Structure 1
Amino acid sequence: MSRPFTVLLVEDEPADAELFQDLLAEVAADIRVEHAENGQAALDLLQRPGAQRPDLIVLDLNMPVMNGHDFLSQAKAVADLRAIPVMVLSTSDHPDDIHRAYDAHAGGYVVKPGSYQEYTQVLDTVQAYWRGLVRLPRLEDLAR
């Protein structure tokens, strides 16, 4: 039996985290979502001994304690975390944020949609892409 596809959502706003989880459940109920409230909490979770690696990290940029840019730079500097794809999901459409995210090896950048329907469509597309279309390294192969 294979394990469920797992997403680590790094988002400081409880309402945004809840909306993400609710809408993702509508389009892909079998995806498991873990939540961290900021970049430091996410790094701590990922580096905990015996921690199961998520298949995808969905990252907000504007957070207290450690923002998304700093998380991305630090996570991609750790060999054990480098292969985990990170998709930025932010309200920012600023070119500097987009360039900075890709320079730090983000796998994608999506601007948070403005409506419920658009958000549902985005999450459906995101899950189909990351879970079905692309080939990700198997987590057991990353330990080598």
Structure 2
Amino acid sequence: MLWGVFVGVVLVACAAAQERGTWRATGNSARTITGDVSLSDAKLVVDFSSYTIAKIRALQPNELSAAFDADSNAGGSGNLYRLNIPATKRLLHKNTLCGSDDTQWMATYVVGRSLQLAFFSGQTVPVLKLEALSNSTDLCGTFSYTR
């Protein structure tokens, strides 16, 4: 039983470590709005500005599938983070992440050498289910990156 707990802790640590580092923008939205990003345990760097992030929890496969249109059997991992990027913060080409709303949440999805980020506005924790996301006004955008 102790071995199972150890393996579980190692897997969670590896999943978090997969997100860390610098990621090159690959999707059109990422190239025109955020540019390359960098993630650490406590910071997100976007367009040379650093923001404090706090990990809330790991995401379940069904949440990753709903939020990122991913195959729930494809593997990969992700987390939900709390952050605050003011609506007044202009990024590349004078774009913002969430229009006139502050960006309050970030979901991550890492599989292999690719990363996707989804940003959300709103004070309440985003519901990462397909129906809820299709009716949500809090989902600001999803961005793609690679190593």
| TM-score, normalising length: structure 2 | 0.25
| TM-score, normalising length: structure 1 | 0.26
Query: In proportion to residue count, which structure has more strand?
Result: 2
Query: In proportion to residue count, which structure has more helix?
Result: 1
